[in-house]
Amino acid sequence: MTDSRETFNSNFDISNATLTASSFFSIKDNHISRIYEVFNRYGFVLIHLTSPKVFLEELGIFDKYFGNIIYHNRSDSSGISLIKIIPNFSNYFGTTNENTGLHTDGSCSKKPPKIVILYCEISSEIGGESQLLNCKLLYNNIVKYAPDLLNVLFEPNVFTITRDNESFTQPVFYYENDRVFTRFRGNKTAKISVLPKAKKAFNFIKKFVCDPKNILQFKLKQNQFLVIDNTMVMHGRTEFPKDSPRKLNRVFFDGNIKNSQFPYQIQFGFEPLN
């Protein structure tokens, strides 16, 4: 399967990756090819639901298209984790009003999800804007401007995340089926240690992911949801007021899709530069 994945930055027109459906349940097999096509091209899809009433339990129907649900230690029986202000959970991205920084989800687990769905139930009038960053663009910039920093980022013990008395050691880039996948987290909600020889490479990444020109930023509105390739697209959100009712619902999927009836097969990661 050839690599059709494109890079994007702050100048990207979000309408190019936006689709419309009436509800979760209305998304049938004949719609999924278009979703796969957009997902494969950009690494994410934004879907706007037009129905005034959305049933969150319908999120589970996506296991047919995105693989098995991965349960989080904050998720309910249907796999949904609330993204809202929750006191006493300051070690988690989704439970504060602070800027999360750009990251991939599941970096505190041995098997992170390949797909993340974020459904907006209540948006914040001020702040709380969604941010996306293309990891293929990051990789290409390292190859172009700092190629000597690339190899260390593939080392399996390049950085360690410690949270809730558990530690996870991992690479930033790694190969799966000859494609490059990404894992990254750099903010203060967990303890992060980096190999001394990799600090220069991490500083390059941190500078890149903080540069506004590399970040696609937009307001995720009520009844919209994002489907994100967690192996190629970092996501985050800006700060919002502590009294904001902002509420998102998140579900993880493992990407293990066995159905081959669709003309577009889903892609993860990206092909490295030759």
Instruction: Tell me whether residue 168 is in a domain.
Output: yes
Cα end-to-end span (Å), the chain: 16
CB neighbours of 271 closer than 8 A, spacing ≥ 6?
3, 5, 178, 179, 180
**Domain boundaries, position 101:** 14-253
Instruction: Tell me whether residue 152 is in a domain.
Output: yes
Q: How far apart are CA 107 and CA 101, in angstroms?
A: 14
Instruction: Tell me whether residue 75 is in a domain.
Output: yes
pLDDT above 60: residue 116: yes
Instruction: Tell me whether residue 139 is in a domain.
Output: yes
pLDDT tens readout for residues 213-241: 999 999 999 999 999 999 999 999 999 99
Question: Cα Rg for the chain, rounded, in angstroms?
Answer: 18
Tokens of 220: 């995720």
Which domain CATH number covers 102?
3.60.130.10
Task: Report the pLDDT averaged over residues 54-67.
Answer: 85
Run of H or E including 120: strand 115-122
Which one, of 67, 69, 92, lies nearest residue 82 by Cα? Answer: 92
Q: What is the mean pLDDT of the chain?
A: 90
Instruction: Tell me whether residue 8 is in a domain.
Output: no
Tokens of 76: 């309910």
CB neighbours of 52 closer than 8 A, spacing ≥ 6?
none
pLDDT above 80: residue 165: no
The predicted structure's pLDDT at residue 33: 87
Q: How far apart are CA 81 and CA 75, in angstroms?
A: 4
Residue 235: strand, helix, or coil = strand
The predicted structure's pLDDT at residue 52: 79
DSSP string across 201-232: HHHHHHHHHT-GGG-EEEPPPTTEEEEEETTT
Instruction: Tell me whether residue 269 is in a domain.
Output: no
Task: Report the pLDDT averaged over residues 122-131.
Answer: 96
Instruction: Tell me whether residue 263 is in a domain.
Output: no
Which one, of 62, 59, 60, lies nearest residue 39 by Cα? Answer: 62
For residue 167, give the amino acid letter: S
Instruction: Tell me whether residue 205 is in a domain.
Output: yes
pLDDT above 70: residue 200: yes
Tokens of 168: 């996870």
The predicted structure's pLDDT at residue 273: 76
Phi, psi of 195 (to 5 degrees): -55, 135
CB neighbours of 88 closer than 8 A, spacing ≥ 6?
none
pLDDT above 70: residue 26: yes
* Tally of domains in the chain: 1
